[in-house]
Structure 1
Amino acid sequence: MLASAGLYGYYKWSKAQEKVNLWTLVPDDAVFVFETNRHERFINQLRQTNLWGNISRLPYFTNLQEDIRLLDSASERRLTLREFIRQKRIVTSVHVTSKTDFDFVVYLPVSSVAEHRYLRSFIENVAKSPLFQTKEQDYQGYLLTQVQNAQNKDAFTFFTYRNNIIFSSNTGLLQQVIRKINRAKLESPVQEFRKINYLKERGVYANIFINYRHLAPFIGLFLKPELQSDVDYLVSLCRSSLLALQVDKQNFYLNGLSLPETLPGSLHQQLRPKNSQALRLKAYVPDRTAILIFLGNQQLVGLAKSNKQISSLVPEVIPWLDSLRQTMQQELALCYLTTPNENVAPEKVALAFTPNPDKTQQVLQALNTAANVRFATERAGRYRIQEIGIPELPVKLFGKGFTGFPRCFAAQVDSFLLFAASEETLRGYVQNIRDKKTWANKEQQQRLLQKTLPQSSVSLFIHTQNTWNFLNRYLQEDKKVGLLRYESLIRKFGQISWQFSRQNQQFLTRILLQHRMEASATHENEEKFKLEQEIAFAAPLITGPDLLRSRPGNATRILVQDSALVLHQVNPEGKIAWSDSLDSKLTSPVYPITFGADAQPKYVFSTHNRIFCLNQAGKDVESFPFNLSDTTTIQNLTVIDRGQANYYFLVNDVRGNIYLYDRQGNLIPGWQPKEMPGKLAIAPYYLNIKGREVIVLAMENGYIYALDVNGANYPGFPINLKGTFTSRLIAQPGSSFRNSKMVLLTQAGELITFNLAGQVEKRMAFARPSRRTTFELVSENSGQSFLIARQDLGRVNLYDADQKLIMEKNYVTSTPKLIQYFYFDPANIIYVITERGPQKTYLYDINIALIGDKPLTNKLPVHLEYNATLQQYQLFKTTDNLLQELIFRARP
């Protein structure tokens, strides 16, 4: 018994040590399979392209990054998941899971004892973390573990098999893998390519397998059913491909081999191509082409075999149909033209190469005679357009895939015979050829064709800009939101080609995705930012032009302070209106207030231990400044507007004392000063809820106080939020204390919402990848909404209040960034990120695209205004001793 137990244990141990080819675990219905091992180099290569900004914001990518950071936050391990998988060979398969969706399975090898120890500790820590919920189930002898995000309910499931971990967000796919394992028939989908491994070659980032027998259902997830038969037919040329992924600054290349489809009725069985053909019809394809399908063969007869359409013809026509087909050879194409909007069906033109055009025209005339019809020809320049009296003639000539010609018009253009469904379509097409608005005369298209295969048996060309309305028309309704969400990325890929060239018993295959090159950053910035005016001061500026808490009226007034401690006002004409020497640097924003007989706004602010109020001439208003004791250092000044020009001035010092002054400089009873048990974390906040005045104080020790103007606590306060605060407080006033919300963010990344009744309503934790991670609440310019900024070394993430990722960017330095958020209307939003060290300011539009493609020189907060009439922005920024006004538009 001991010997048997020992032998059994040794057998199980040895089986566990056997290396498994991860490809053999992939279920047979995989549409795509990706094998990668150079993830870091691939990401670095992508960063050199102008696509990275779009790719890094894809919801799938950003959600994955966020989930990884949350897992790292929960695992409390020094080695992050990203570092763990950096050099690993990973296999990922894509599967259709329903009539409307697809999902992924990821296969990850665990190669050493140290990696086993890391994963075991990682999983144990995640299971203990309140950020996640775990659940286990047994399936056919394997333990499936589900890990769910406790907040957003995102989940994934995993199991282990012989030193490999397999995981997916779809449990059904993992069960499919387990069933394959238990059948003990572990065959790789790339068995026929077993001698090929492109990853051994220099510059290759991935092996990519395509299963064309499952590609049509995958495409069918996105397109409407009316296109499904055409898709089924086109993808039936091959049964599978194995391709190598390569990337340069302007192109994604997938090069490799494909195996022909052997099933009866497939496109390959009808074509049976022997030799490839060069694309000679470049001069006959208009610039406005959206999609071009090219078939290059020696003979086209095979396309019409088993064509059921022919049986409906009168017997006299069939011989002439065969004769017409015999006059065509080598090249056949179907051209879809761009449409003005998605409500218009795309026009299409079929092209066939005719080496003897005169003979083709004679057969066409005989065909019309046999069909007992006669139509007058129309001229289009030196070409003639004639109607052919046989409906759906192209499908009868070339078979499946050439439907959509209920009426058929033909034109012989040099050596190509063109078919269209209307005379107008054909006339416009011929006019494009006459005007030389074709691929042969377009430089961008020529650059693409130079990188494609010189000869091919079948090619598909897609122009994304011209295809946009086509996509909107034929995309499934539930996928249109995704199309708009990924619009900026899709449009970056201006040209796409997919080619097959017959070589012996297989196809040489190339897929090329070419993205548009951006204009030079210098030229773009010159176009984007126009210097409107520039003002020089005697000393370098130490504040940005954003000092004014709000802008009175429509006139732009700017206040700045220089290093000589002089405060300057700049009027709307760009002139220095006045300058005033102060005793120290400002310790508060500048508040514009209005009182007295003078309707002009006055400016209230604080310095080290004084409160100033200046009029429009820069002179002290009567009773000002208020002089606090020499031992008092003002930390914050809050101006309280009680209505009817009745203002209070609330000051807190660095020791936790709070003073409340009226407009004449008198201290209010209860605030002489009011001593708090510690230092305030942020500036006090004032609200008026149905006539009840509230002053909210957030202490560094996590306590929150809500006081009335007499300094007494409101019921329910103080409350202990058990956190440390450094960011601002956001108020959401309501009709009552219970409906009035206050939002705070802790240093640890917990967003806390409480009401003025003293009740904590919600606590929401953000992932904190490391102890160096910092968080900040960023209020927009009007104060009505906010974002959450997370900074970790050089990475900045912006989230909305529901934890939805808005932006993720990496910067040069690891020092904290200055972040501003400007919201003018739903279509005009600007995000501003400033790196103080390199003195670089980046402006991003609503699509998180960098405006101008080049940062501006600046290190202080900027001020931004938007002119809706002119649809342009005014940007005020400082550089050394200069105040600059720049004009720009975020959109062309």
Structure 2
Amino acid sequence: MIKKLVLLSVVILSIFFLYIKNSDINQLEIWSVIPSNSLLVFEIKDPLNKWKKFSSEVNENDFKQLKKAVNKELNDFDEFLNNKLDILSENNELIISVSKTSNNNFDLLFSSYKNKLDLNFIIKKLRDSLSFDVSTRIFNSHKIYEFLDDESLFSAVVLGDVISVSKNSLLIEDAIRTSNKKSLQFRYVNNQLFNQVMIQNDLGNIFVNFLELSNSFQDHKHLFNILPDKTFLDIRIKDNIFYLSGFSTNNTKKLNDSNLVDDDMIRVIPRKSNYFTSSAISHKINRDIIEYGRFSFKSSYSNLDHEIIILDIYKSDFLKLNINDFEDNEIIEIQNNIILEVLDSLKYEYEKIYIYKGKKNFYISSSYNSLIEFEEIYTSNNFWRKEIKFSKFLSKLNKNQNTTILLNYKELSKNYSFLDNNILKEIDLISIQLSSINDKFYTTVNFNSNSDSIRVISDSNLTFKAKNKLTSKPFIYFSHVDNSPQVITQDENNILYQLDKNLNKIWEDSIDSQIISKPFIIDYYNNRKKQILFATKNKIYCYDRLGNILSGFPIENPNKNDEIDDINIIDYDKSKKYRISLSSGNKAFLIDKYGKTLKGWNPLVMEDLLVEAPKHFRVRGKDYILLSLENGDIFLKNRKGSNYTGFPVKLENKLFEKIFIDLGQNFNNTSLVALDELGKTYFIGIDGKIKKENQMFRRSKNSKFKILTDPLEKSYIRLSVDDDVIYFKENTLNFKNKIDFTYQFYSLGEGKSFLAVTDPKEKLTYFLDMDLEPKFKNIFNEKDISVIHSKNISYIYTTFNRTISVIEIKN
């Protein structure tokens, strides 16, 4: 009887354990198949809706390759599933894990719950409809399906309700092994990462194994020495920048937990730098803390990378350096035990040590030539922060942190072939920052796209090369023959060119000096044919479309004792009986189109220099001529040069910006908008009364204020510029402006206005929207641009050295 009971117990227990085993397999969680040695793990819940959310939040032209690839795969898969992909995705979860499978190869494992997915249906359709060869093999008691066609091979396995797919069958085997052993499972091994508070309704989560990743970046392993072993990050996107944030675990390294206070180091990074790091280390003996920076940049003279360490000059006592031992712009070789200790702790390789003293920092390198080239960059201020997109990216970083890493993906990826991927190439900048909070490190990773927010269709083949370096912007007017765009420009030898719509030269002529006014388009003979009229400092010229100078031109400067500063054209009643107004020092002239000076304006002598030539406008049939002086006096005069009642208006401060005429339908809603040198804006009625005043924010005594008018003179904006900041409305942009940049405003309607900021020294033009966000990539250009906008395409006319080019941009 006892034997029977024992036997029955064994049978029952065997059935129970078999049931438990099968039950475990059928109830297997998705994380149970994710290997613990994965480098990166992406977790996305409700993946199809999350993808739609991502696509709607990112700009149309950002991450185009990624969106193109994923959308194609989703569309093909949806068609394959008879348009049932949304059913499979709803309330489901997708985990993508990245593993290193050889020295330079990384493969993906896709895992999800199969839900109502009929595997037999999938296999049959792959075999019958798509001509895949389907085979199976057994590994650790589990069936692996392998699918092969002429181009690709992929494998799959079903473990309980979880299906895993990969192009590398080794990862499928790894998933099977992992499912059977907790010590191999990512979630079990990294349980601390999963105890964090996770943001709801984000784009997903990512788990990063920095410890494993570092083995793939041997040339930059020191970057990983200042990072935690592993980190968990939530994913969200705003203003086309990805923000990843969460807490880290650190098992093997002592990380910096001192807040960085010196943000000046980041301001001296050269262009084309591979990376920049900033953190702090402590002295081995006295435990004093010293901040350091480290960056690497590509040489302009060779294919070498220069690596430099930055140390705070105010820590010279700590470093046991005497500042008086250093001459300006001098590079010297040193022997210093403290510095050697710092370099050793940073795993910086050296045989000799050289040092260069800047204004706020010491720059240290093992290569004399590295510091020679950096000194050229330093003295010319050729820094990365001067690129607006980089500056904007910096403005999004955390201000309080313990460690910062900046990566230039384009430059860094040149060192590693496995990063040469069309999708990854869309990444521009990456930042990693650590902040110490309650003995944990809060990690933030940001990255942006290098794509254009406005698409450049082509760098057009439309180009023109002048005989000499061009000195003027490409002025555009439209032909009376076929309304096609024509270009007027000039080179440094005073040769004037007119170009047709294809930038072919129509004519050229040599004139006395440089053009000082924009070309005005007139109909001199009142026969519906156009001529161009402009001024140099000595003369006024007028040409027809074939390059013939009109009879009676050039007109000599009526002021024999000074040069022409500016001209304007007046056509009182559209009768083509043109008047030419000009300013010359403190004198204002009006002459008729034949060059005869007019009564009351021969000349009109003012108390100070004129801001611009007299400008005409008409309200309800009444003519007004506006004059503004640098001392802040504003005049409205009639045709004879007499003041209107209420004028002059005297402003509180000097005036250097041209006045905008806000022309209304009647006297009451017409205003003069004046911006003085201290940023106060005056809205003045044509009765001479100041309607209101508005003070712009003045950051410092060096603030400069500008009023920018659209080329059609129908709208304007105001902005202020400091040495390092541009302000517009509530938006700011950190940017060095110590040289004379030029600023242009274009209003294309439908919310498509933009700023063009040209740096003549760097020969770059930056395009900004009305939030001071980059509009599209910088373009090489030296002078003010010209723009034609038609059918959602902007044609940008640029100047570089001797060449005019046209770039087409789709808005």
- What is the TM-score when the length of structure 1 is the normalising length? 0.46
In 2, Cα distance between equivalents of 1:106 and 1:487: 19
In 1, Cα distance between equivalents of 2:155 and 2:457: 50
In 1, Cα distance between equivalents of 2:96 and 2:457: 42
Contact 2:276 2:406 in 1 (8 A): yes
Q: Say if 1:889 and 1:872 are closer, same or farther in 2 by CA, change over 3 A.
A: farther
Q: Is 2:337 the counterpart of 1:403?
A: no
In 2, Cα distance between equivalents of 1:16 and 1:440: 55
Instruction: Please report how far the alpha carbon of residue 280 of structure 1 lies from its aligned counterpart in structure 2 after TM superposition.
Output: 2.3
The residue identity in structure 2 corresponding to 1:475 is Y
Q: 1:96 aligns with which of 94, 100, 103?
A: 100
Instruction: Please report how far the alpha carbon of residue 96 of structure 1 lies from its aligned counterpart in structure 2 after TM superposition.
Output: 0.4
Contact 1:327 1:359 in 2 (8 A): no
Residue 336 of structure 1 corresponds to 296
Q: 1:489 aligns with which of 422, 426, 437?
A: 426
Q: 2:164 aligns with which of 166, 174, 179?
A: 166
Residue 43 of structure 1 corresponds to 51
Residue 310 of structure 2 corresponds to 351
In 1, Cα distance between equivalents of 2:455 and 2:76: 36
Three-state SS of the structure 1 residue aligned to 2:136 is strand
Q: Is 2:288 the counterpart of 1:288?
A: no
Residue 211 of structure 2 corresponds to 213
Q: Is 2:496 the counterpart of 1:506?
A: no
Q: Is 2:398 the counterpart of 1:453?
A: yes
Q: Is 2:229 the counterpart of 1:239?
A: yes
Residue 182 of structure 1 corresponds to 180
The residue identity in structure 2 corresponding to 1:273 is N
Instruction: Please report how far the alpha carbon of residue 433 of structure 1 lies from its aligned counterpart in structure 2 after TM superposition.
Output: 4.3
Contact 2:99 2:108 in 1 (8 A): yes
In 2, Cα distance between equivalents of 1:416 and 1:54: 37
Contact 1:211 1:241 in 2 (8 A): yes
| 1:383-402 equivalence runs, <5 A | 384-389=330-335, 395-402=340-347
Q: Say if 1:67 and 1:208 are closer, same or farther in 2 by CA, change over 3 A.
A: closer
In 2, Cα distance between equivalents of 1:524 and 1:63: 23
Contact 2:271 2:384 in 1 (8 A): no
Residue 109 of structure 2 corresponds to 105
Question: For 1:5-32, what per-residue CA distance to the aligned partner results, in whole angstroms no more than 9, with x for missing partners?
Answer: 98688656744553x3322321121101
Q: 2:361 aligns with which of 410, 413, 416?
A: 416
In 1, Cα distance between equivalents of 2:162 and 2:333: 65
Three-state SS of the structure 1 residue aligned to 2:195 is coil
Residue 142 of structure 1 corresponds to 142
Three-state SS of the structure 2 residue aligned to 1:455 is coil
Q: Say if 1:161 and 1:251 are closer, same or farther in 2 by CA, change over 3 A.
A: same
Q: Is 2:199 the counterpart of 1:258?
A: no
Question: For 1:786-817, what per-residue CA distance to the aligned partner results, in whole angstroms no more than 9, with x for missing partners?
Answer: xxxxxxxxxxxxxxxxxxxxxxxxxxxxxxxx
Question: For 1:478-534, what per-residue CA distance to the aligned partner results, in whole angstroms no more than 9, with x for missing partners?
Answer: x58x35x458624xx2x2211112222221101111335846579999999999999
Contact 1:408 1:421 in 2 (8 A): yes
Residue 195 of structure 1 corresponds to 195
Residue 131 of structure 2 corresponds to 131
Contact 1:327 1:356 in 2 (8 A): no
Q: Say if 1:527 and 1:85 are closer, same or farther in 2 by CA, change over 3 A.
A: farther
Residue 569 of structure 1 corresponds to none
Three-state SS of the structure 2 residue aligned to 1:192 is helix
In 2, Cα distance between equivalents of 1:854 and 1:421: 53
Instruction: Please report how far the alpha carbon of residue 417 of structure 1 lies from its aligned counterpart in structure 2 after TM superposition.
Output: 2.2
Instruction: Please report how far the alpha carbon of residue 142 of structure 1 lies from its aligned counterpart in structure 2 after TM superposition.
Output: 0.7
Instruction: Please report how far the alpha carbon of residue 92 of structure 1 lies from its aligned counterpart in structure 2 after TM superposition.
Output: 1.3
In 2, Cα distance between equivalents of 1:47 and 1:25: 29
Instruction: Please report how far the alpha carbon of residue 216 of structure 1 lies from its aligned counterpart in structure 2 after TM superposition.
Output: 1.8
Residue 65 of structure 2 corresponds to 57
The residue identity in structure 2 corresponding to 1:503 is I
In 2, Cα distance between equivalents of 1:352 and 1:238: 23
Question: For 1:113-148, what per-residue CA distance to the aligned partner results, in whole angstroms no more than 9, with x for missing partners?
Answer: xx14x4443333334435211101111111111122
Three-state SS of the structure 2 residue aligned to 1:418 is strand
* Bigger mean CA deviation after superposition, 44-53 or 233-242: 44-53
Which stretches in structure 1 are left out of the alignment for 5+ residues?
263-267, 303-321, 366-375, 537-851, 859-869, 874-886
Three-state SS of the structure 2 residue aligned to 1:352 is strand
Q: 2:283 aligns with which of 301, 305, 312?
A: 301
In 1, Cα distance between equivalents of 2:76 and 2:52: 23
In 2, Cα distance between equivalents of 1:55 and 1:69: 18
Three-state SS of the structure 2 residue aligned to 1:273 is coil
Instruction: Please report how far the alpha carbon of residue 393 of structure 1 lies from its aligned counterpart in structure 2 after TM superposition.
Output: 8.4
Residue 707 of structure 1 corresponds to none
In 2, Cα distance between equivalents of 1:156 and 1:193: 31
The residue identity in structure 1 corresponding to 2:40 is F
Identity %: 13
In 2, Cα distance between equivalents of 1:7 and 1:855: 77
Which stretches in structure 2 are left out of the alignment for 5+ residues?
1-7, 464-475, 483-786, 794-801
Instruction: Please report how far the alpha carbon of residue 294 of structure 1 lies from its aligned counterpart in structure 2 after TM superposition.
Output: 3.0
In 2, Cα distance between equivalents of 1:107 and 1:238: 27
Contact 1:279 1:455 in 2 (8 A): no
In 1, Cα distance between equivalents of 2:457 and 2:137: 60
Q: Say if 1:68 and 1:417 are closer, same or farther in 2 by CA, change over 3 A.
A: closer
Q: Say if 1:336 and 1:524 are closer, same or farther in 2 by CA, change over 3 A.
A: same
Q: Say if 1:244 and 1:351 are closer, same or farther in 2 by CA, change over 3 A.
A: same
Instruction: Please report how far the alpha carbon of residue 429 of structure 1 lies from its aligned counterpart in structure 2 after TM superposition.
Output: 3.4
In 2, Cα distance between equivalents of 1:126 and 1:853: 53
In 2, Cα distance between equivalents of 1:4 and 1:109: 31
Three-state SS of the structure 1 residue aligned to 2:231 is strand
Three-state SS of the structure 1 residue aligned to 2:446 is strand
In 2, Cα distance between equivalents of 1:119 and 1:415: 66
Q: 1:248 aligns with which of 213, 220, 238?
A: 238
Question: For 1:42-89, what per-residue CA distance to the aligned partner results, in whole angstroms no more than 9, with x for missing partners?
Answer: 43344457766574535xx8677666666666x5x5234465235521
Contact 1:356 1:415 in 2 (8 A): no
In 1, Cα distance between equivalents of 2:142 and 2:790: 54
Contact 2:62 2:449 in 1 (8 A): no
Provide the aligned length of Structure 1 versus Structure 2: 478
Q: Say if 1:359 and 1:70 are closer, same or farther in 2 by CA, change over 3 A.
A: closer
The residue identity in structure 1 corresponding to 2:398 is L
In 2, Cα distance between equivalents of 1:439 and 1:66: 37
| 1:309-388 equivalence runs, <5 A | 329-340=289-300, 343-357=302-316, 360=319, 362=321, 379-380=328-329, 384-388=330-334
In 2, Cα distance between equivalents of 1:419 and 1:157: 52
Question: For 1:746-778, what per-residue CA distance to the aligned partner results, in whole angstroms no more than 9, with x for missing partners?
Answer: xxxxxxxxxxxxxxxxxxxxxxxxxxxxxxxxx
In 1, Cα distance between equivalents of 2:165 and 2:133: 16
Three-state SS of the structure 1 residue aligned to 2:175 is helix
Please report the RMSD computed on the Cα atoms of aligned residues, expressed in angstroms: 4.7
Q: Say if 1:855 and 1:157 are closer, same or farther in 2 by CA, change over 3 A.
A: farther
Three-state SS of the structure 1 residue aligned to 2:97 is strand
Residue 416 of structure 2 corresponds to 475
Contact 1:34 1:91 in 2 (8 A): yes
- What is the TM-score when the length of structure 2 is the normalising length? 0.50
Q: Is 2:79 the counterpart of 1:79?
A: no
